[in-house]
Amino acid sequence: MRDAVTSSDRFCQGMATRRAVLGDSHVDRAQSATTEFDQPFQALITEAAWGHVWSRPTWTKRERSIVTIALLAALGQDEEVAMHVRATANTGATREDICEALLHVAIYAGVPAANHAIRIAKQVFGEMDAERPEGE
């Protein structure tokens, strides 16, 4: 069954989109950490989240990135917020986009959730700035 799932068109599209958004190194780390126990979950998110939702043509990756960060912030999913903030380097979502999204989180999901997500975003943006080669 595993081979049928990982060779499906939806899985292949999902893997391509996942790599485009999160980057090869992140996906390679996730894949190398996959065990028999969580392989079905990894296949599910690759097909459903990345192969279906993130691969739809209606919204851009930038738009999906903004909405995803807002939703994850509202839900208090710290690690996922950080991962998706880092992915903005690949999706085209700007820091201003993320700021605006988190202002919406403050109004619609609560100031504490937005405040916490802003702290995470600032930390990740700081790390990204520190990793950037000089002159860029």
Cβ–Cβ under 8 Å, residues 97 and 62 = yes
The pLDDT of residue 134 is: 76
Which three-class secondary structure state does DSSP give residue 98? Answer: helix
Q: What was the pLDDT predicted at 114?
A: 98
Question: Tell me, what's the pLDDT at 3?
Answer: 59
Q: What is the pLDDT of residue 130?
A: 96
Q: What pLDDT does residue 136 have? A: 65
Question: Tokens 């919406």, residue?
Answer: 104
Q: How far apart are CA 4 and CA 101, in angstroms?
A: 38
CB count within 10 Å of CB 108 equals 11
Q: From the first residue on, what is the mean pLDDT of each consecutive set of 10 residues in the chain (136 residues)?
A: 71 97 96 95 96 97 98 98 98 98 98 98 98 79
- The pLDDT of residue 133 is 83
What residue segments make up the domains of the chain, in order of their start? 1-58, 59-136
Dihedral angle over CA of 38, 39, 44, 49, nearest 10:
80
**Domain 59-136 maps to which CATH number in 3.40.50.10540, 1.20.1290.10, 3.40.50.300, 3.30.360.10?**
1.20.1290.10
Q: With beta carbons less than 8 A apart as the criterion, state whether 89 and 54 touch.
A: no
- Distance between CA atoms of residues 125 and 86, nearest Å: 7
